[in-house]
Structure 1
């Protein structure tokens, strides 16, 4: 997915360089390059973010469970 994003940014950079003014080049690069590319990467990474969050939550639950078992064993 990153190679597609790099290629898209390269093409939009070439388009922006060929614009008649600097302002038009910056605007075209932002609206045709950076914004769609960042949206693509953000949407594409949502599954990985969800998995990382679930993994962190499961680790936190394991730590809490380990602490509870240790206290119960010491009392008995």
Structure 2
């Protein structure tokens, strides 16, 4: 439910900053690792895997040709 509220159907975070998108994505990756290590919540892991795939692709589309992420919203350029 939280993931559905945090990311749209295309994998973009509903917050207006790329930094926040990257932060949320990193949290879901960590959650996925914990669930896999504990070998629990297979259905949830499948949903998280799909979310991570969409969100990773969306983040890749935001990267500039020089490899930096633009300062959208209050995110720094990094």
TM-score (norm 2): 0.36
Structure whose CA Rg is larger: 1
More helix by share: 1
TM-score (norm 1): 0.37
